[in-house]
């Protein structure tokens, strides 16, 4: 019986598409390779002080640790360092500890890089977040202020739940001092702080069921605490919601810095602070677009570069395309994360892989 159960378990594994890197297109001089293809449902990425790559997951209950001991750009080992967690998408590393989001809880694995083979039990840092799983998984990151930023997505496609949802919060590393940062954010699954200004920028997913081309996902800048970015009353800075927009004005809310396109599912974003990529990429925001699920003609399924000068958007251009061919999808980018050498990791939860992007002058 045990043998039969094992066979059935093997057959029932998720049908991850194999990476098809030959189908990908990058600008001249850029190269992409598989860092690991053994990371089911790979989502948010974080890098430890010793170079360990930590990966959260969705549709799985595990957190992974990837190690490249010989420095050849390929992870030789993939360890499961936590399991049995609820949608542990978010991972953030600070002072030797790995913080993990699990819907209603923020957990921590202490001194994790010294215990990869015998990981500690996760400790609860804060267990007070909502229990809804609709937009309940969380991208998390530490800001320049040393606080952990945690989004709380709307528990719906579109609804008005006041200031309890649809916002970004922050707290101290020990879980205390939880406070709101910004409101009117349907669901942010990616944010970072701009080099030189330390201002928080974030991606946000637009609502569904307003047609193929409405509304757009957005890239946004927080310039003061307590800003309201419009949801559920105003979408993409200029379109009132058919139901919740009655009696409202878009002018009363903060517009986006950039419309990213309808239903592209903009997720992880980071500012490029390395030196390996050419100068035009320095300080640019790099965004993983997971791709549409409800559009007649698919959109997204790519990694994009947004060049900025302060708050001004200069350009919005592809870095990686080709995860979709003739409306058929084999990969869905979920997050991006720099390595110390300036190369860029990209997670792909459909292929269960993490890729490494490098640059060498042509």
- What is the model's pTM? 0.94
Instruction: Look at residue 233 in the predicted model and tell me its pLDDT.
Output: 98
Q: Are 188 and 231 in contact (CB under 8 A)?
A: no
Q: What is the pLDDT of residues 106-133, one digit of tens each?
A: 999 999 999 999 999 999 999 999 999 9
Q: Are 40 and 14 in contact (CB under 8 A)?
A: yes
Q: What is the pLDDT of residues 279-292, one digit of tens each?
A: 999 999 999 999 99
Element (H, E) at 2: helix 2-11
Q: Which residues pair with 78 in a beta bridge?
A: 66
Token look-up 């701009």 returns 194
Instruction: Look at residue 10 in the predicted model and tell me its pLDDT.
Output: 28
Q: Which CATH architecture has domain 30-359?
A: 6 Propeller (2.120)
Q: Please state, for a pLDDT cut of 70, what percent of the chain lies above it.
A: 95
Instruction: Fill in the DSSP letter of residue 279.
Output: G
- Parts of the chain with a pLDDT under 50: 1-15
Q: Are 1 and 12 in contact (CB under 8 A)?
A: no
Instruction: Look at residue 16 in the predicted model and tell me its pLDDT.
Output: 61
Q: Please give the mean pLDDT across all residues of the chain.
A: 94
Instruction: Look at residue 17 in the predicted model and tell me its pLDDT.
Output: 66
In Å, how far from its chain's centre is CA 154?
17
């Amino acid at each position: 019986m045990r043998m039969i159960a094992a066979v059935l378990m093997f057959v029932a594994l998720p049908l991850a598409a194999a990476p098809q890197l030959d189908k990908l297109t990058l600008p001249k001089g850029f190269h992409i390779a598989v860092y690991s293809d053994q990371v089911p449902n790979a989502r948010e990425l974080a890098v430890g002080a010793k170079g360990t790559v930590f990966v959260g997951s969705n549709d799985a209950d595990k957190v992974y640790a990837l190690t490249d001991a010989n420095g050849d750009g390929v992870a030789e080992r993939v360890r499961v360092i936590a399991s049995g967690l609820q949608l542990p998408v978010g991972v953030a590393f600070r002072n030797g500890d790995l913080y993990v989001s699990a819907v209603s809880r923020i957990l921590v694995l202490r001194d994790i890089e010294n215990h990869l083979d015998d990981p500690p039990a996760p400790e609860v840092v804060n267990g007070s977040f909502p229990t809804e799983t609709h937009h309940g998984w969380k991208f998390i990151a530490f800001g320049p202020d040393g606080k952990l930023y945690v989004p709380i997505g709307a528990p719906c496609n579109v609804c008005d739940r006041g200031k309890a949802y649809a916002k970004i919060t922050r707290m101290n590393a020990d879980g205390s001092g939880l406070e709101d940062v910004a409101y009117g954010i349907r669901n942010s699954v990616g944010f970072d702080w701009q080099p030189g200004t330390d201002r928080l920028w974030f991606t946000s997913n637009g609502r569904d069921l307003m047609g193929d081309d409405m509304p757009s996902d957005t890239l946004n800048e927080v310039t003061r605490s307590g800003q309201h970015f419009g949801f559920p009353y105003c979408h993409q800075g200029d379109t009132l919601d058919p139901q919740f927009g009655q009696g409202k004005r878009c002018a009363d809310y903060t517009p986006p810095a950039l419309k990213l396109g309808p239903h592209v599912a903009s997720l992880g974003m980071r500012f490029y602070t390395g030196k390996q990529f050419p100068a035009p990429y320095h300080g640019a925001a790099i965004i993983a677009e997971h791709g549409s699920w409800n559009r007649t003609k698919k959109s997204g399924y790519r990694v994009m570069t947004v060049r900025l000068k302060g708050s001004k958007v200069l350009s919005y251009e592809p870095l990686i395309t080709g995860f979709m061919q003739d409306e058929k999808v084999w990969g869905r980018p979920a997050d991006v994360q720099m390595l110390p050498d300036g190369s860029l990791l990209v997670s792909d939860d459909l292929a269960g892989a993490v890729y490494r992007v490098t640059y060498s002058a042509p």
